[in-house]
Every structure is written in C-alpha cells, then in structure tokens.
Homo-oligomer: A and B are copies of this chain.
Amino acid sequence: MESQDLKKAGLKATLPRIKILNILESSPARHMSAEDVYKALLEGGEEVGLATVYRVLTQFEAAGLVERHHFEGGHSIFELNDGDHHDHILCVKCGRVDEFMDDVIEQRQHQIAEEKGYNITSHSLYIFGICRKCQK
C-alpha cells in the first residue's frame, strides 16, 4: 500500500503522490524524467498537472524515496531509492543505462577527499560509451 509508504515518509497520502509512486514502482524503466512520469500518467488516463509531478518528485527526493540524477542533457532523471548506492554507465547512441558499484572506486574517492581536505558528502560518476548492441 503506497499510502503507508508515503505516511512513513512524512507525506500526506494524496492521490497524485500515490499515482506517481505507482508509476515509479511499476514502470519498466528504472530511470525516468519528470516528463516521462507525466506522460505515463496521461497514458494511464490520470489527471495530474506537470507542476505537481515536479513538486512531488522533489518532495520524494527530500524524503529519500527517490534519487535524482543528472545524466547529460539538462534535465533531471529520477529512480526509486532502493537503499543501495550505485553509479551509472550510459550508451551515448541509444540511451541505454546500466548500473554498477565498485568498492575500489568508492574507496579511492574517500581517499582523495581526505587528501584534499574535504569532508565528502556525495559524488556523481557517469561513464559514457557505446553499448554492445550499438557497436555493430
């Protein structure tokens, strides 16, 4: 029940929020833009304003339900926060997205932050390339 998840996150269980959470959970695409979510709602016959989609996604992010990424291209991409951190590798031709987690890289980043005198708060790592299919 999504209402429970929302309330646990400290958010009122409104219809738009439930519907948006639903889209994020049931959509085949793990990584969606606000526009993607909006279109999915419209296709489902739901009446939700685009501004609300943006607002709700931002609230979800603040509540830790969702993560926001900046895959090149100026717009934000959201994905459900499953709790496990990972980074992304993307195909510059077809837009395919794969996920990975590398302990060596994570560790080196902390090392570097320490060397430079920073108290690390986050990082963003994207590898761009051409996927297997697009190489042929």
Residues of chain A touching chain B, judged by Cβ–Cβ distance below 8 Å, are 70, 72, 74, 89, 91-92, 98, 100, 102, 104-105, 108-109, 112-113, 115-132, 135
Contact = CB atoms under 8 A, between A and B. Distances in A.
Contacts of A104: 104-105, 108
Number of copies: 2
Nearest to A111: B102
A100 B127 CA distance: 17
Given A102-B108, A108-B102, A130 B123 contact: no
Contacts of A135: 119
A130 B118 contact: yes
A118 B91 contact: yes
Interchain residue pairs A-B with the least CB separation, the first 9: A118-B129, A117-B132, A120-B129, A119-B130, A123-B127, A125-B125, A122-B128, A124-B126, A98-B116
Contact of A113 (B108, B124, B125, B129): B129
Contacts of A123: 125-128
Nearest to A107: B104
Contact of A121 (B70, B121, B128, B132): B128
Contacts of A122: 127-129
21 contacts: A70-B72, A89-B113, A100-B112, A102-B108, A102-B112, A104-B105, A104-B108, A105-B108, A113-B129, A118-B130, A120-B128, A120-B129, A121-B128, A122-B127, A122-B129, A123-B125, A123-B126, A123-B128, A124-B124, A124-B125, A125-B125
